[in-house]
Amino acid sequence: MSYEFWNVEVQDGISIAALNTGPMNYMTGPALGEFKDIITSWRDPSVRVGVITGDVPEKYITHYSVEELVVMGDDPALLATSGPDLIYPYHLLLQSLTKLPKPIIAAMSGDTMGCGLELSLNCDIRIAQRGDYVIGFPEVALGILTGTGSQLLARSIGQGPALDFMLRSRTVSPEGALALGIVHELADSARARAIEVAAGMVRQSPVSLAAAKRSIWEGANLPLAEGLRIEAEEWLKTIVTDVAMEKMRDYVATPFADRNEWVRRNGVPPEAGAAKGA
C-alpha cells in the first residue's frame, strides 16, 4: 500500500515507516490517519520489527502542526464538544504501538518534540541520531499541555526529572536526552542503527520477544503480584516452543567457558559506547 505522507518499505521482516510532510516534517491529522493504517499493517506476522523515522533531513517528527491546533482553538465551543473525540483516540492510537506483539523502534533522525516525542515514548527502543537538533516538550511555553507526554515521560525518567522537564518547557540535545534516559542510545545514522538492531531482533524468537514486551508494558506499573502473574503467563508461553528448546539445548551443549560468549553472540549487541552503561 502507498501513502501520501509516509514512505514505507519492508526488508527481511523489518518495516520502515518514514514521515514526510514537508520542510518542517510536522505531524498532521491526515498523517496520523495514515499512521493508523501502518500500525494495522504491522500486525501481519511477516512483519517482525517496525521502525519509525523521518524522511526529511534533520527532522524526525518535529511536533504536531501548531497551525492545525490554532484552527481548533479558534472555535472554543466546538473544541469543548469535539475535543474528547480527538484526544482519547489519539491516546489509543499511540498506545496501540505498545500492544503490538513485536518490537517497535524509534529512529529519531532530527528534531523531535511534542507529538514526535510522545510517539517515540510509546516505542520500545529509541535511537537518537547525533547532530545539532532538539528533543523535548515545549508545550507549556506555548500555553498548552502535551497530549500524553507528561504521563509517558514520568514513567520513563521519574516524576522529579519529568516535572523539571515539563514545567521548564525543556528541549535538550541528543546527548542530553541520553543522559536523562529519554533515549537509549546515539548513532551517526539513527535509521541505519535501527535497522541493525531490528535485524538482530528478527533472529530472536518472536514468542519470547512478544512475551518480554507484554510483561514490561503491562506489568511494570501494576502491583508486583499482578506483574508477576503476567510474567508467569508469558513464561509459560515461551518455555513450550520448539525455538526455546532448540536454543536452550544448544546453550547446554556449549562448554562452560564459552557460555558468556554464546549469550553475546546470540543476543543483539549494543553499539560500543553508545548507550549508558555500555
Residue ranges of E strands in 46-95: 49-54, 59-61
Residue the block writes with cell 501548531? 66
Helix, strand, or coil (residue 169):
coil
Residue 178 · residue 190 · CB < 8 Å:
no
Distance from C-alpha of 165 to C-alpha of 60, rounded to nearest angstrom: 20
For the stretch 14-54, pLDDT in tens is: 999 999 999 999 999 999 999 999 999 999 999 999 999 99
pLDDT of amino acid 259:
94
Pick from 266, 225, 217: which is nearest to 246 by CA?
266
pLDDT of amino acid 271:
64
pLDDT of amino acid 73:
87
Mean pLDDT in consecutive groups of 10 residues from the start of the chain, 278 residues:
95 98 96 97 98 98 93 85 86 97 98 98 98 97 94 96 97 98 97 97 96 96 96 96 95 95 86 44
Catalytic residues: 118, 139
Pick from 203, 198, 139: which is nearest to 171 by CA?
139
Where are the domains positioned within the chain? 6-201, 205-266
pLDDT of amino acid 124:
98
DSSP class of 49: E
Distance from C-alpha of 194 to C-alpha of 189, rounded to nearest angstrom: 8
For the stretch 214-237, pLDDT in tens is: 999 999 989 999 999 999 999 999
Q: CA dist 144 to 74, 163, 185, 204, Å?
A: 14, 15, 30, 42
Give the pTM: 0.93
pLDDT of amino acid 77:
86
- 6-201: in CATH 3.90.226.10: yes
